[in-house]
Amino acid sequence: MIGIFKTNINTQREKNQVIRALSGEFSATMCTLDLEDCDKVLRVDCPQMEEHQVISFVRHLGYQCAVLD
């Protein structure tokens, strides 16, 4: 699954925390977050994960997360 999500992650510290958590929990092969984009776009490539799992996990960390249309 390659998922593209809209978030409310705003700082480099928050970005690093979320990427580390996703990579550690789900063994994501690629995980990036564009803080310059107005939607704070999170891209996750992880074959063994579904979009709803990413959304739930990021929300559990305290951030908003939704599939980007």
pLDDT (0 to 100) of residue 52: 95
Instruction: State the sign of the Cα–Cα–Cα–Cα dihedral 56, 11, 20, 69.
Output: positive
Q: Which residue has the tokens 């990413």?
A: 54
The total of structural domains in the chain comes to 1
- State both tokens at 57: 């996990």
pLDDT (0 to 100) of residue 40: 98
pLDDT in tens, 44-67: 998 888 999 999 999 999 999 999
CATH number (domain holding residue 20): 3.30.70.100
Instruction: Tell me which of 26 and 31 has the higher pLDDT.
Output: 31
Q: Give backbone dihedrals phi and psi of 35, rounded to 5 degrees, phi first.
A: -70, -20
Q: 39: domain range?
A: 2-67
pLDDT (0 to 100) of residue 1: 80
- Residue 18, pLDDT > 90, answer yes
Max Cα–Cα distance, the chain, nearest Å = 29
**Residue 53 class from Cβ within 10 Å (0-12 exposed, 13-18 middle, 19+ buried)?**
middle
